[in-house]
Amino acid sequence: MYEEFYNLNEEPFRLSPDSRHCFRHPSYKKAKAYMQYALHRGEGFVMVTGQPGTGKSTLIGDLTSDLPDSRPYANLPCTQIEADDLLRLVVLKFGLEGREQNKAILMHDLEEYFHRLRREGKQPLLIIDEAQDLPASALEELRLLTNLQQDNQPLLQIFLVGQEELRQTVLSPGLKQLHQRIVAACHLEPLSLETTREYIKHRLSQVGWLDDPLLDNKVYGYVHKFSGGVPRLINMICGRLLLHGMVEELHALGEVDIRAVVEALAEEQLLPINRQTQQSRKHRWL
Protein backbone atom coordinates (compact mmCIF):
# COMPACT_ATOMS: atom_id res chain seq x y z
CA MET A 1 0.00 0.00 0.00
CA TYR A 2 2.02 2.97 1.26
CA GLU A 3 5.24 1.56 -0.22
CA GLU A 4 3.83 2.24 -3.69
CA PHE A 5 2.84 5.78 -2.75
CA TYR A 6 6.36 6.53 -1.49
CA ASN A 7 8.16 4.50 -4.19
CA LEU A 8 9.66 2.04 -1.71
CA ASN A 9 10.83 -1.41 -2.79
CA GLU A 10 8.91 -3.13 0.01
CA GLU A 11 7.33 -2.46 3.37
CA PRO A 12 10.12 -1.35 5.76
CA PHE A 13 8.32 -1.78 9.07
CA ARG A 14 6.88 -5.28 9.11
CA LEU A 15 6.09 -6.64 12.58
CA SER A 16 7.32 -10.16 11.81
CA PRO A 17 11.06 -10.80 12.33
CA ASP A 18 13.18 -10.22 9.23
CA SER A 19 16.93 -10.72 9.62
CA ARG A 20 17.53 -9.17 6.17
CA HIS A 21 16.90 -5.73 7.63
CA CYS A 22 18.46 -6.26 11.06
CA PHE A 23 19.98 -3.15 12.58
CA ARG A 24 23.19 -3.94 14.44
CA HIS A 25 22.95 -1.49 17.33
CA PRO A 26 25.45 -1.83 20.25
CA SER A 27 23.31 -4.21 22.33
CA TYR A 28 22.62 -6.36 19.27
CA LYS A 29 26.28 -6.51 18.25
CA LYS A 30 27.32 -7.48 21.77
CA ALA A 31 24.72 -10.26 21.91
CA LYS A 32 25.75 -11.65 18.53
CA ALA A 33 29.44 -11.54 19.48
CA TYR A 34 28.69 -13.51 22.66
CA MET A 35 26.77 -16.10 20.66
CA GLN A 36 29.53 -16.44 18.07
CA TYR A 37 32.05 -16.87 20.88
CA ALA A 38 29.92 -19.65 22.36
CA LEU A 39 29.58 -21.33 18.96
CA HIS A 40 33.36 -21.27 18.65
CA ARG A 41 33.65 -23.05 22.00
CA GLY A 42 31.00 -25.54 20.95
CA GLU A 43 29.78 -26.47 24.41
CA GLY A 44 27.21 -25.70 27.07
CA PHE A 45 24.29 -23.30 26.97
CA VAL A 46 23.88 -19.79 25.64
CA MET A 47 21.10 -17.65 27.13
CA VAL A 48 19.60 -14.72 25.21
CA THR A 49 16.97 -12.63 26.97
CA GLY A 50 15.02 -9.46 26.29
CA GLN A 51 11.54 -8.06 26.63
CA PRO A 52 9.05 -8.85 23.83
CA GLY A 53 9.84 -7.08 20.57
CA THR A 54 13.51 -6.29 21.23
CA GLY A 55 14.77 -8.46 18.36
CA LYS A 56 15.58 -11.88 19.83
CA SER A 57 14.06 -13.79 16.89
CA THR A 58 15.75 -11.45 14.41
CA LEU A 59 19.07 -12.07 16.13
CA ILE A 60 18.59 -15.84 15.92
CA GLY A 61 17.69 -15.60 12.23
CA ASP A 62 20.73 -13.43 11.58
CA LEU A 63 23.02 -15.86 13.38
CA THR A 64 21.68 -19.07 11.83
CA SER A 65 21.80 -17.61 8.32
CA ASP A 66 25.59 -17.60 8.62
CA LEU A 67 25.99 -21.10 10.06
CA PRO A 68 28.13 -23.50 8.00
CA ASP A 69 26.94 -26.95 6.97
CA SER A 70 28.99 -28.36 9.83
CA ARG A 71 26.53 -26.78 12.30
CA PRO A 72 23.07 -28.26 11.55
CA TYR A 73 20.45 -26.73 13.80
CA ALA A 74 16.89 -27.20 14.97
CA ASN A 75 14.75 -24.26 16.08
CA LEU A 76 12.06 -25.23 18.57
CA PRO A 77 9.46 -22.61 19.56
CA CYS A 78 7.78 -23.93 22.68
CA THR A 79 5.27 -22.92 25.30
CA GLN A 80 4.80 -24.79 28.58
CA ILE A 81 5.97 -28.17 27.26
CA GLU A 82 6.66 -30.89 29.78
CA ALA A 83 9.96 -32.76 29.81
CA ASP A 84 8.85 -35.89 27.90
CA ASP A 85 7.05 -33.90 25.21
CA LEU A 86 10.07 -31.63 24.86
CA LEU A 87 12.36 -34.59 24.23
CA ARG A 88 9.98 -35.96 21.60
CA LEU A 89 9.83 -32.58 19.87
CA VAL A 90 13.62 -32.34 19.82
CA VAL A 91 13.75 -35.77 18.16
CA LEU A 92 11.19 -34.71 15.55
CA LYS A 93 12.90 -31.37 14.86
CA PHE A 94 16.12 -33.19 14.01
CA GLY A 95 14.20 -35.28 11.49
CA LEU A 96 14.04 -38.52 13.45
CA GLU A 97 11.07 -40.78 14.10
CA GLY A 98 9.38 -39.50 17.24
CA ARG A 99 6.37 -41.79 17.61
CA GLU A 100 8.13 -44.09 20.06
CA GLN A 101 6.66 -43.63 23.54
CA ASN A 102 9.61 -45.11 25.42
CA LYS A 103 11.84 -42.28 26.62
CA ALA A 104 14.95 -44.49 26.79
CA ILE A 105 14.58 -45.42 23.11
CA LEU A 106 14.08 -41.79 22.14
CA MET A 107 17.26 -40.84 23.96
CA HIS A 108 19.12 -43.73 22.35
CA ASP A 109 17.99 -42.75 18.84
CA LEU A 110 18.95 -39.13 19.44
CA GLU A 111 22.37 -40.05 20.80
CA GLU A 112 23.05 -42.36 17.86
CA TYR A 113 22.12 -39.53 15.48
CA PHE A 114 24.48 -37.12 17.24
CA HIS A 115 27.30 -39.68 17.10
CA ARG A 116 26.73 -40.06 13.36
CA LEU A 117 26.97 -36.29 12.93
CA ARG A 118 30.19 -36.27 14.94
CA ARG A 119 31.70 -38.88 12.59
CA GLU A 120 30.80 -36.53 9.72
CA GLY A 121 32.57 -33.65 11.47
CA LYS A 122 29.35 -31.91 12.46
CA GLN A 123 27.98 -30.62 15.77
CA PRO A 124 24.26 -29.85 15.99
CA LEU A 125 22.79 -26.76 17.61
CA LEU A 126 19.39 -26.75 19.34
CA ILE A 127 17.62 -23.39 19.70
CA ILE A 128 14.75 -23.19 22.20
CA ASP A 129 12.60 -20.09 21.62
CA GLU A 130 10.21 -18.73 24.28
CA ALA A 131 12.21 -20.77 26.80
CA GLN A 132 10.81 -18.75 29.72
CA ASP A 133 7.66 -20.90 29.47
CA LEU A 134 9.49 -24.17 30.07
CA PRO A 135 9.06 -25.81 33.48
CA ALA A 136 12.17 -26.63 35.50
CA SER A 137 11.81 -30.34 34.64
CA ALA A 138 12.04 -29.57 30.91
CA LEU A 139 15.09 -27.37 31.40
CA GLU A 140 16.72 -30.16 33.38
CA GLU A 141 15.98 -32.53 30.49
CA LEU A 142 17.87 -30.17 28.20
CA ARG A 143 20.82 -30.16 30.58
CA LEU A 144 20.95 -33.93 30.41
CA LEU A 145 21.20 -33.71 26.62
CA THR A 146 24.41 -31.69 26.99
CA ASN A 147 25.86 -34.64 28.92
CA LEU A 148 26.07 -36.58 25.65
CA GLN A 149 29.74 -36.66 24.66
CA GLN A 150 32.25 -38.38 22.43
CA ASP A 151 35.99 -38.21 23.09
CA ASN A 152 35.31 -35.68 25.87
CA GLN A 153 33.58 -33.38 23.40
CA PRO A 154 29.87 -32.46 23.73
CA LEU A 155 27.64 -33.73 20.95
CA LEU A 156 25.07 -30.92 21.25
CA GLN A 157 25.00 -27.22 22.03
CA ILE A 158 21.85 -25.41 23.17
CA PHE A 159 20.68 -21.81 22.91
CA LEU A 160 17.94 -20.71 25.31
CA VAL A 161 16.06 -17.66 24.03
CA GLY A 162 13.34 -16.00 26.05
CA GLN A 163 11.91 -13.08 27.95
CA GLU A 164 13.50 -11.57 31.04
CA GLU A 165 11.98 -14.06 33.48
CA LEU A 166 14.05 -16.83 31.88
CA ARG A 167 17.10 -15.43 33.64
CA GLN A 168 15.44 -15.73 37.06
CA THR A 169 14.32 -19.29 36.31
CA VAL A 170 17.84 -20.35 35.37
CA LEU A 171 19.20 -18.73 38.54
CA SER A 172 16.81 -20.70 40.77
CA PRO A 173 18.45 -23.15 43.23
CA GLY A 174 16.98 -26.23 41.54
CA LEU A 175 18.76 -25.44 38.25
CA LYS A 176 22.22 -24.78 39.63
CA GLN A 177 23.83 -27.40 37.37
CA LEU A 178 22.29 -25.85 34.26
CA HIS A 179 23.37 -22.37 35.36
CA GLN A 180 26.94 -23.59 35.73
CA ARG A 181 26.94 -24.75 32.10
CA ILE A 182 26.04 -21.38 30.61
CA VAL A 183 29.06 -20.19 28.62
CA ALA A 184 27.50 -16.87 27.55
CA ALA A 185 24.46 -14.83 28.56
CA CYS A 186 23.34 -11.66 26.83
CA HIS A 187 20.39 -9.30 27.16
CA LEU A 188 18.90 -7.22 24.34
CA GLU A 189 18.19 -3.70 25.58
CA PRO A 190 15.63 -1.25 24.12
CA LEU A 191 17.03 1.44 21.84
CA SER A 192 18.07 4.90 22.98
CA LEU A 193 16.64 8.01 21.32
CA GLU A 194 19.64 8.39 19.01
CA THR A 195 19.68 4.68 18.18
CA THR A 196 15.93 4.81 17.47
CA ARG A 197 16.59 7.55 14.93
CA GLU A 198 19.34 5.47 13.33
CA TYR A 199 17.12 2.38 13.34
CA ILE A 200 14.26 4.13 11.52
CA LYS A 201 16.58 5.58 8.89
CA HIS A 202 18.28 2.20 8.46
CA ARG A 203 14.98 0.39 7.88
CA LEU A 204 13.91 3.02 5.35
CA SER A 205 17.25 3.04 3.54
CA GLN A 206 17.01 -0.74 3.11
CA VAL A 207 13.94 -0.34 0.90
CA GLY A 208 15.04 2.56 -1.31
CA TRP A 209 13.88 5.59 0.72
CA LEU A 210 14.94 8.89 -0.84
CA ASP A 211 13.51 11.31 1.76
CA ASP A 212 9.96 10.68 0.58
CA PRO A 213 8.34 11.15 2.97
CA LEU A 214 10.52 13.75 4.59
CA LEU A 215 10.49 13.17 8.37
CA ASP A 216 10.62 16.11 10.76
CA ASN A 217 13.19 15.67 13.53
CA LYS A 218 10.44 15.71 16.18
CA VAL A 219 8.98 12.51 14.73
CA TYR A 220 11.92 10.47 16.04
CA GLY A 221 11.45 11.80 19.57
CA TYR A 222 7.77 10.90 19.63
CA VAL A 223 8.42 7.44 18.22
CA HIS A 224 11.04 6.74 20.87
CA LYS A 225 8.88 8.11 23.68
CA PHE A 226 5.83 6.02 22.87
CA SER A 227 7.66 2.86 21.78
CA GLY A 228 10.05 2.81 24.73
CA GLY A 229 12.77 1.99 22.21
CA VAL A 230 11.30 -1.46 21.50
CA PRO A 231 11.90 -2.23 17.80
CA ARG A 232 8.58 -4.02 17.25
CA LEU A 233 6.66 -1.02 18.63
CA ILE A 234 8.84 1.33 16.59
CA ASN A 235 7.84 -0.66 13.50
CA MET A 236 4.17 -0.49 14.40
CA ILE A 237 4.21 3.28 14.95
CA CYS A 238 6.27 4.02 11.85
CA GLY A 239 4.19 1.74 9.67
CA ARG A 240 1.03 3.52 10.76
CA LEU A 241 2.71 6.89 10.25
CA LEU A 242 3.48 6.07 6.63
CA LEU A 243 -0.04 4.74 6.14
CA HIS A 244 -1.38 8.01 7.57
CA GLY A 245 0.85 9.93 5.16
CA MET A 246 -0.45 7.95 2.21
CA VAL A 247 -4.09 8.47 3.18
CA GLU A 248 -3.56 12.21 3.64
CA GLU A 249 -1.33 12.38 0.52
CA LEU A 250 1.57 13.89 2.46
CA HIS A 251 5.21 13.88 1.43
CA ALA A 252 6.43 15.50 4.63
CA LEU A 253 5.45 14.17 8.07
CA GLY A 254 5.81 16.13 11.27
CA GLU A 255 4.65 16.58 14.83
CA VAL A 256 0.94 16.87 14.05
CA ASP A 257 1.03 13.64 12.07
CA ILE A 258 2.87 11.56 14.66
CA ARG A 259 0.52 12.87 17.37
CA ALA A 260 -2.48 11.73 15.34
CA VAL A 261 -0.96 8.28 14.81
CA VAL A 262 -0.07 7.78 18.47
CA GLU A 263 -3.53 8.90 19.54
CA ALA A 264 -5.14 6.43 17.13
CA LEU A 265 -2.94 3.56 18.33
CA ALA A 266 -3.70 4.42 21.95
CA GLU A 267 -7.44 4.45 21.24
CA GLU A 268 -7.07 1.02 19.63
CA GLN A 269 -5.15 -0.14 22.72
CA LEU A 270 -2.20 -1.14 20.56
CA LEU A 271 0.27 0.93 22.55
CA PRO A 272 0.95 0.34 26.26
CA ILE A 273 -0.49 3.69 27.33
CA ASN A 274 -2.89 3.84 30.26
CA ARG A 275 -5.91 6.11 30.19
CA GLN A 276 -4.56 8.62 32.72
CA THR A 277 -1.26 8.98 30.85
CA GLN A 278 -3.10 9.34 27.58
CA GLN A 279 -5.28 12.13 28.94
CA SER A 280 -2.32 14.00 30.41
CA ARG A 281 -0.51 13.82 27.07
CA LYS A 282 -3.56 15.15 25.32
CA HIS A 283 -3.57 18.19 27.59
CA ARG A 284 0.16 18.80 27.06
CA TRP A 285 -0.34 18.72 23.32
CA LEU A 286 -3.10 21.32 23.33
Banded model confidence at residue 100, pLDDT cuts 50, 70, 90: low
pLDDT at residue 273 is higher than 70: no
Q: What share of the chain is helix, strand, coil (3-state, %, to 5)?
A: 55, 15, 35
E strand or H helix at 267: helix 255-267
Banded model confidence at residue 285, pLDDT cuts 50, 70, 90: very low
Backbone angles phi, psi at 51, to 5 degrees: -70, 160
Mean pLDDT of 106-119: 92
**Domains present along the chain, CATH in parentheses:** 26-188 (3.40.50.300), 191-285 (1.10.8)
**Tens-place pLDDT, residues 187-219:** 999 999 999 999 999 999 999 999 999 999 999
Banded model confidence at residue 283, pLDDT cuts 50, 70, 90: very low
Q: 67-81, 141-155, 226-240: which has the highest mean pLDDT?
A: 226-240
Using the Cα atoms of residue 213, residue 216, residue 218 and residue 221 in order, give the sign of their dihedral.
positive
pLDDT at residue 284 is higher than 60: no
- How far apart, in whole angstroms, are the C-alpha atoms of residue 76 and residue 129? 6
Burial (Cβ within 10 Å: 0-12, 13-18, ≥19) of residue 125 = buried
Backbone angles phi, psi at 62, to 5 degrees: -65, -45
Q: Map residue 248 onto helix, strand or coil.
A: coil
**Tens-place pLDDT, residues 38-67:** 888 888 899 999 999 999 989 988 999 889
Mean pLDDT of 104-133: 92
